[in-house]
Structures are given as structure tokens and as C-alpha cells.
Structure 1
């Protein structure tokens, strides 16, 4: 095997020289053999015969050189190249005929077809042999794989892999009975039920899923079966990416989690996607976040006059602004993009931005969304989510913004955490403003669950934990969540916003809830590993249960009441829910603002429970600032630089309230 590797590593000019010498010898041998088979050996015994052999041997490489035969890289030889080689060999036969005629026709015409056949077999066969030897030299370094799907994409993948690279295709697996038992691209096609035995017999290390055009529900069925095997599974890009040229068939990647969920995307309604965007000034808050960034991408493709990006995270804003500028340079849109580095808590600055650009449509996706962090930062969570949204909404009303679409969450339904309570409160604010006769802005809210791949999603967390070797951490064995892809969520937000008449809560159809423990187990198995549990003590990665985090619910809900109506979009429902009239809400917000200004944590929680939010806190206070202050006062130890008599009045009041409870 070492000599074979050494041969492959020779410089290309040396290999071409050796190939020319081999062709000379093969041409000479084929001519001699053709003459012997035809019974005309005597024709070559004289000096003319020697001249014929010599001239043929010298001119044949020249003919093949003119045809470009020696520029063919054997490892990438395909049907077109084989046809070029056959044409070159045909010309070499014509060359023999011409030389024979010039020398007085030493050979009969019977020799030519025999010579042509021998040359084709010898010279073509030698190149095929060299190609197989090259593949053989690479096999110890390549992973043996099986391709699931013997259709067009599978065949293209097999051809790409056979030319070299990381993987060595050994077989196909396909559901279609018409292909089973046949050879495709030189590889046998097997029934999916044979996969387990194939893995053992061929030593397969990977399954490549090559069914890009299959419905997602079908891909889910296949992946559920593959998850029981002991090898990892990878897939090729979807048909849309292949057709658009964004990816090639041999760009294998990890199985997308949306394939595990089996949810089929619904085509967008063009009359809805562009209604509030085309030729208008559009602003997106939280533009650097997962949902905000995808909203920006899809909005830009609808041709707004100006797209204003607002975010207080510098790097996130810079990243999405640069991405959108690249889209503009590629000619995808002729819009203008303006990036504004500012927090939504800066009410006057937000009003200035709305007025300066003349914003007509506003998508509000900015919020603190991480449940445990907001729970531990109660005051800032409310200041940003509630009063930041309030200032933005009031500015939108004053500047006569046509449409205000607020991105909400399923955690706003009967919330058990502060983040959910703040989002429900912002829904009430938008509903109350929409009901004012003096308000010309059309407010609507869009509520949905978790999105796959977002910064707070469990999916990238699980993937990192699997790559580290585990354990995979799940909070509770029975916890479930709704999931949706980021592009689908953004698309539906845009379409829902276009359908609102004012004050509606739109609820996105999230499909069936997913048990997080099952999702984690499937991700482990599709990585080629085994879940370590009581039934499999020798498994690779354990799933550990860490307990529900502060404010976390076992099951999420999307609807508060039963007054739900379908819309013309099959994935969007609308709900008219109970809300506060603006005077009552305004008074409540005044009290809440006073409480956060003085950091009165218990009063804040009391107000949230008194409001019609159906807020049901399930845990004790976890804000570390409140806890530290509580501990210092209760132990009568002064804070650094503050005497006991200087402790804030609000803290003493809260301490008394705590002791009374």
C-alpha cells in the first residue's frame, strides 16, 4: 500500500510522463496482438513493419495530446471524459490507417476493428484501474457511509463522495421497492430494514440523509427510525438551498432540529407580507436579536423605502446592519438601511427617531426575554419591558405611526414569572391605547412560543453539551414546549400585523408541544451516541434533571380565553381578550413606576398580582439585590458606607412586610 501512496504523491508532470510511456507500450502491444489475432503476422516482419510500429508508437501520444487526454485528472474522470478518451483512441486508429496506407497498405482492413477494440479495452481499462487504485489508497483515511435515498440527490452525493474526500459511500438505502436489489452509481440499494445489519457487516460510521425534497413529516418518520441506530446521522441541504445555489449537495451538516419536529412550512401570502412594508418607512426594535434580525431580513426583501434598525447592543446591531448592507449591494433590494444605537427606555430619543424618519410601520421585538435573568433583575426587567414599551407606544401615537406590531410570547398567558407578567402587561397597554378614540395608530400583538436556534433556545445548548460529552441538562422530565423556526415566526408576525384592525391579539399555531426530554434523547442518538440511563448503564451521555428554574412552567399555553377565531391564514388565529380601560391602566402604571423608582420589590410583586394579568408567582423572591439588602437589614449589619439609620425607608417597609408574612 505504501508504494501506491508514493505513486499518488508523485508530481503531476511525472505522472503524465509515465502515462505517455504506458500508452506507447500498450499501443504497440495492441497492434501486435491485433495482427496475430487476424493471422497477418508476416506483414510486420519486414523493415516496413518495424517502421509502422515505430511511427504508430511515436505519433499516438501526439494524437492523444491534441485531444487533451493527458489533461484529464483520473480521479475525477466522468462520462464526458470517457467519451473524449474514446474519440482520441478512434483518432489513433485513423492514424494507424493513414500510416499503413502511406507505407503501402501492409495490413488488411480486418486488423483495424480488432486493434480499435483492444486499444479501447487496454488504454481505457488502465485508466479505470489507476482510478480505482487511487480510491483504494484513500480508503483507510475515509469513513464508510451509507446514503439514505437513491434518487437524484443521492446519486449526485455518491458521485461527489466517490471522487475523494472524507466519506466512502458503501451502499444506498431507499424505501422504493423498484430500486431495492439494483445497483445505482455502482452501489447496491437495500431496504431500510437492512440498515442495522449493514452497519455491522460494512462497518458503517455514518448515515447521510439525501432526501431534500421529502416532506418534513416524512423526514421526521425516517429520523425517528434512524435515532435507534448506533451511528450518527447527517443530512444534505434542503431543495430550496440546492436550487438557489446557497449550498451544494455534498455540504453535509447535522440534522436540523426542525426535521425532528416534523412541521411543514406554509407558503406566505404575498398580499399580506408586503401590505405594511412595501415603499414605507419601517422600524424594527431589537433588530439585533434572533426574531428582530430575521424580521429585518424578510422586511428588506419586501422593498421598504427605509428600514430603521434599533438596538442597544452595539455588536448585534453592527452584525445585522452589515448583513443587510451586503444584501443591498447584491441587488436584493433598493431600500435604505439606517442603524440606530439606542435603548427603547430613552423615550424622547425614540420619539425623535420616529419623527425624523417618518416611521409608518413599527415592529417592536425589543425586550428582556430570559426568564431566570429577568426574575433575578426584577426592577430592570420591568423598567425595560413595561416602561420602555410604554414610552415607545406613546411616541408612536404622538407621531401618528400607522401600524404598531408588538411581538409577545406564550409566557404572557397565566404567567408564573416576571418576564411573562411584563409581556402580558404590555399587551394590555397596546389594547388600551388601541381603544382610545384619539388614537390613529393601529396596534396589534402577535403571541407565539419558543423559536428554534434563538440565543435562548435549548437546542444549541444541548448540542454544545453533547459535543462536550454530556451530561445533557433538562429541568424536568415532563416539561414541554412549543417550537417554531425563526424564519416562520418572523414571516407569520409580518402577515399577522397586516391583518389587524386594532387591538387584536394574534396567536400563531405552534403545532404540537414537544417533550424536551425526548428532544434531548433524539439529539443524542442522532449524534451516534447512546443515552445513559437505568436500562443502558453503559451508554455515552446521561440526561440529568436539574429542577425547574425560578418562574419556569411545566407547560406553556397560547390562549387566555375561549374567544378564538380563525383568520384567512391557516397558521394564525385571533383572540379578543379582556383588557383595562386606559384611565385605570394609567393609574396602575403610575403606582408601578413609583415602586420601581424606589426599588420596592415586594410592592412591585404585589402590584403585578393585583393587576388583571393572572400572574401566579410560583417561587420566592430571587432578586439578589433585594436578598442582600434583606439579609443586611434583618441581621442589623450596615451596608458598606451606610449606617443602620440610613437604610432606605422602602427596604425597612419591605422587611416589615416580609416578617408579617
Structure 2
């Protein structure tokens, strides 16, 4: 220890970290204890002389009596090893050893004093003095250890608090107080609660858990440095969306970190530390979830065979998770992506070992590969989530969109009708409404084909379509893309400063799909009330701020221009569509124009033939015939809208 201190002092590092000092040598503790005993003797002498006004030692040399008492006490210290423990870790056993040591000293000295009286007829020390010395010496030794223990505790807490984030807890209700108490009671958490924050104005002089209560106005008027805080803990469940957005805007303006804590009911045991996380942009975009009639959904799936195409994708895999909760007899998960399919297989077998699964690696465009599944398993529900969805890639490869989005949907839908599947639910997109790109138009063509099957003679399957906007966290969606760019230090790329999109969470989207499968009577297109559209520029700025950076200072935002087929505003309903309400206020039925089966089937056969021949221009021409409202935007296929009747050199599109 001394070598370490010497190196620090003479080696340039003059900061001695007391909390890292291991322990003092035993002989130093013993010397300190003896000094405390000497002080106790003199203090006892002073008190006795003031009280009794008489001599209390009958020996001609007081120093001899003092030395004798100290010697006896030291012997018992050695016997009981009172100096051997690490003081900062003293326990009740150490305290008891001190008490026994001092008591034995008093008994031995008292016994010698009485023996001396019997032999000589006189005492060499006054008995009250001995009792007083016992009390004072024990208290002195005890206080010394208590002081050292508390001193090191304070030093450790000071060092910990210096590394902890100073936070306020938003709210003064029972939930907020419970979360604050849990943080305070857990010293291992990297947070130090320094107060509470409220919108109320009647709490100026009040305090909670010994911490002050701040009004919203103080946060608005002060700076981060004035407040001396690093962040805020909020309980998301305790606020409405508008309230949370208002508070978050204020906190971001003040450059405060925002942490979200779960409600107390959701905290498992002492795992609060793992439950407090940085607020994510998804938390600000969430809305009140759809109310699901679980009993109806359960009846539709319980002990039934279910097929989910695209079952390894973002939407498909969540459908699989939710359907598995209703104890179906079998779930067939079909996808052409090998690794994601293997991942969902491992997950499902781990989470739902009692459910029977079959994982099929196949392409929905290959009818000969798919039909044996319908022949073998008596499917009651089919969820068709398989599709190509990335707009720029599909714009470059329109024939691939036809083979998967149109031919694949045609195969699954016609097989569902042929093998008497009770319900077929197709997942569509808001990009199918007044499409400006091949991807959206291909999905609209699939919608038209699926709808047309409803009225085919002999059909008993209920064909249902669900249509919604972007889902948070799906593969290739904007939010994970922005997160990766922010983590890399930027820049964040946006195609256009005015572009807006609708958003919903993956669980919400899948709840809509399950609900639609239950409530649909066949031929409907269900659309979801997705709230207000979100401006992507504002989304990017908020994500940058939530990550602790300043937009265009720490992380640059650059504009790359609209991609082929991309439009500024997405729609959920076509211009000439009408909506009908359902018993769920968040779900509506879109009454879009439909086509007769013979007409759409003939056009689909034509476009599939062109796709097989890889005739890109002819594919898009026929697609514009099937979907007349399809007007290309920022695309090489705009020429077909300008000159629809003219012959165009097809070689450049091969």
C-alpha cells in the first residue's frame, strides 16, 4: 500500500482515491485503539474530578495505574483480536468483541482492586472511575469504527453519484413515486433521483422522498446547466400521446436525455435496471392499439390448420407469433428466404413447444410446389403476407414484382378457393392506392384479382384484404435505416424535405390482420385509421435528438431526391372510394372499384406471360391497363403515360 501511495505522490499522480485504499495494517489499528484508551482515561479522570471533588486514585503515582489499566486492556484486545478486522466492513460480531474486551478489562481491574483491598485494607482506584472508564472506552472504540465505516460509505456513494445521471421523475402520482423509490433503493442503477417534475402549480414547497418538486415552468425558463440535471424518467403508460409529445418536445429543446420506465406492475422482481431504457421514436408514434375481440379470434384459430406465406418476414412472423397464442392444430410457415425462415423456426420451437409447426422453404410463384401443401393439410385460414415491397428495386425489376406479387397471390388465392379454405386474408399496402410505382400497382392488381374470386361460381372461401401504411421496425423501413445512419455518425439521408408517411407498429398491423380475418364476410378491403401522417424530416430530427445529438451540427441531414416511383404523400383510400364503418372504430371498409374475374384473370395471364419473357415495358403497359389510376412518378416508365398509343423502342428496356 505504501509503495502504491509513494508512486502516486512522487510519480505525478497526486490524487489518492480513498475508496480504493485496501486496509490499514493491524498494528496501526492497535495503536489508534490504544490512543483512544488513553484519551478515555484522561476524559474519565476529568469527569470524576469535576463530580466528586476528591482523589479517585490512591496510588502515589497515577501514571503507574494508567499504564496498568492500558496494559490489561491491550492484553484483552490481543486475545479477542479486536484490531484484526477491516474496519469499514465491521459487523455486529466486531461490536460484541469490543464490548467483551472492555467488560473483561473492567472485571479484571476491579478484581485486582478488591484483592488489593483485602490484603492492604485500601483500594488503589475508585470503583465508579472504573465503571466510567469502561463506558467511555467502549463508546470511543465503537464510534471510531462507526466513523470509519460511514466515512468510506460516503466516499463510495460520492464516487458512484459522480458517475450517475442526475434525473427528475416526471409526475407525482403513486406510480412515479414507486419508480423513484425503486431507483433510490437500488444503488447499482446508474441514475440518481434529484427531484420530481409536475405540471401542477401547487407543489412549490412540497417534497417527495426528501426530494424537491419542480414545476413545468421552471424547466421552461431554466437551462440544463441551471437545473444541474442530465435527464428525465417518464412512465409512458401514464400519459396520453399528446401529453407525452408536449413533454418530449420540451425535454428535447433543453437537450435532456429522456428515459422511459415501465409501470410498477410490469417490473419483474428487482429488474428495474433492465426495464429503464432510452425513449425511442417508436414510443412517440404509437397510438392507442386496436381493440381485439380475442374470443372471436381464438374461435377462428383454435384447433385449426393455418398457413402463413411470407412467414419469415416482419409482418408474417408476427402473425405466426400471434396465431400461435390461440392453440391452432398446425401452423405452416412458408417463405423463400432460408436464413430468416430458420430463425423463426428456432424462435417458435422455443416459445411454443406445444404447437405443431411445419416450416416450408418455397416460392409462392411455383404453384406445383405450393399445391401439395393444400392437398395434405386442411387449411382453415390462409394469411398471405409474401410480397416484394421495396419500391426502387421493384421499379428496376417490374417482372419480378409480377411473378411474386401478382402470380404468387393468384396461386395462393385460387388454391384457397379450390381446396375450400374458410378464409383467405391478404396483406396489402397504402402504396396500392393511386399508385405511382410498379410495386404499388402490382399490389393493387393482386387486390383486384383476390376480390374478383369472391363471386366466382362455386367459391366458398371468404377473400379479405387488409391495407395499411408503413410499419415500425420492419425490414427495410425508414426508422432502422435512420438508426444505423445515426450510429455511424451520419449523415441521415432523406429523399425530400416535404415527404410524409403513415406509421403503425408491427403488432398493431398484425392485430388488424387477425381482426379482419374474423370480421370479414368476403370481398372487403379493410383500412386502418392510422392517425396523422408523420413528416419524415421531423422524424429524423427527433431521432437525432433522442440519440443525444444536434441535427445538422452533430449529425448532418442531406436530401437525395425522390427515388423512382416514390411520391410525397401516401393514401389509404382511392379518390373515388367510399368507406363503411365497422363495429371497431379504428377499422373501416374501403369500397374501391372492382373487376369481373374473367377480365382480371385474362389480363393477369397476359402480364405473367410478359413477366416470364422479361419484357419490362410490356409488363408495365399491361399493369397500367389493369390499374388505370397507375401514373408513374420520377420513373423511366413515365413515357408510357405521355405516349400511351405510340410504339416505343423496347430494346432499351430489356
| Secondary structure in structure 1 of the residue aligned to 2:359 | strand
Structure 1 residues 405 and 116: CA distance shift in structure 2, 3 A: farther
Q: Which residue of 2 aligns with 1:130?
A: 152
Q: 2:615 aligns with which of 580, 600, 623?
A: 600
Unaligned runs of at least 5 residues, structure 1:
73-84, 533-538, 627-651
Give, in whole Å, the separation in 1 of the partners of 2:27 and 2:577. 82
Q: Does 1:223 align with 2:251?
A: no
Structure 1 residues 477 and 198: CA distance shift in structure 2, 3 A: closer
Give, in whole Å, the separation in 1 of the partners of 2:156 and 2:27. 15
1:4, 1:137 within 8 Å by CA — same for their partners in 2?
no
1:308-355 deviations in Å (ceiling 9; x for gaps) = 2111111111111111122135xxxx2122211111112121111233
1:46-83 deviations in Å (ceiling 9; x for gaps) = 95686467647864959999xxx9878xxxxxxxxxxx
> 1:3-402 to 2 correspondence within 5 Å?
7-9=18-20, 39=48, 51=72, 55=76, 59=80, 95=100, 99=104, 122-137=144-159, 142=163, 144-149=165-170, 151-160=177-186, 162-163=187-188, 172-175=196-199, 188-195=212-219, 197=222, 199-201=224-226, 204=229, 206-217=230-241, 218-231=243-256, 233-239=257-263, 242-244=266-268, 248-261=272-285, 263-329=287-353, 334-402=354-422
1:89, 1:116 within 8 Å by CA — same for their partners in 2?
no
1:275, 1:498 within 8 Å by CA — same for their partners in 2?
no
1:368, 1:374 within 8 Å by CA — same for their partners in 2?
yes
User: What is the CA distance between 1:389 and its match in structure 2?
Assistant: 1.0
Structure 1 residues 199 and 180: CA distance shift in structure 2, 3 A: same
Unaligned runs of at least 5 residues, structure 2:
1-7, 51-55, 58-64, 112-126, 171-175, 641-645
Give, in whole Å, the separation in 1 of the partners of 2:146 and 2:322. 53
Give, in whole Å, the separation in 2 of the partners of 1:326 and 1:19. 60
2:290, 2:512 within 8 Å by CA — same for their partners in 1?
no
User: What is the CA distance between 1:390 and its match in structure 2?
Assistant: 0.6
Give, in whole Å, the separation in 2 of the partners of 1:256 and 1:459. 10
1:283-321 deviations in Å (ceiling 9; x for gaps) = 211122111121122222222222221111111111111
Give the TM-score taking structure 2 as reference length.
0.79
Structure 1 residues 485 and 48: CA distance shift in structure 2, 3 A: same
Q: 1:554 aligns with which of 546, 558, 568?
A: 568
Structure 1, 33-42 or 334-343: larger mean CA deviation: 33-42
Q: Which residue of 2 aligns with 1:78?
A: none
> 1:430-579 to 2 correspondence within 5 Å?
430-532=450-552, 539-560=553-574, 561-579=576-594
1:425, 1:613 within 8 Å by CA — same for their partners in 2?
no
Give, in whole Å, the separation in 1 of the partners of 2:245 and 2:35. 55
Give, in whole Å, the separation in 2 of the partners of 1:33 and 1:59. 24
User: What is the CA distance between 1:450 and its match in structure 2?
Assistant: 0.6
Give, in whole Å, the separation in 1 of the partners of 2:369 and 2:326. 27
Number of positions where the alignment pairs a residue of Structure 1 with one of Structure 2? 599
Give, in whole Å, the separation in 1 of the partners of 2:358 and 2:70. 84
| Secondary structure in structure 2 of the residue aligned to 1:227 | helix
| Secondary structure in structure 1 of the residue aligned to 2:301 | coil
1:415, 1:614 within 8 Å by CA — same for their partners in 2?
yes
Structure 1, 398-407 or 41-50: larger mean CA deviation: 41-50
C-alpha RMSD over aligned residues: 4.1
Structure 1, 291-300 or 352-361: larger mean CA deviation: 352-361
Give the TM-score taking structure 1 as reference length.
0.78
User: What is the CA distance between 1:513 and its match in structure 2?
Assistant: 0.9
Q: Does 1:580 align with 2:595?
A: yes
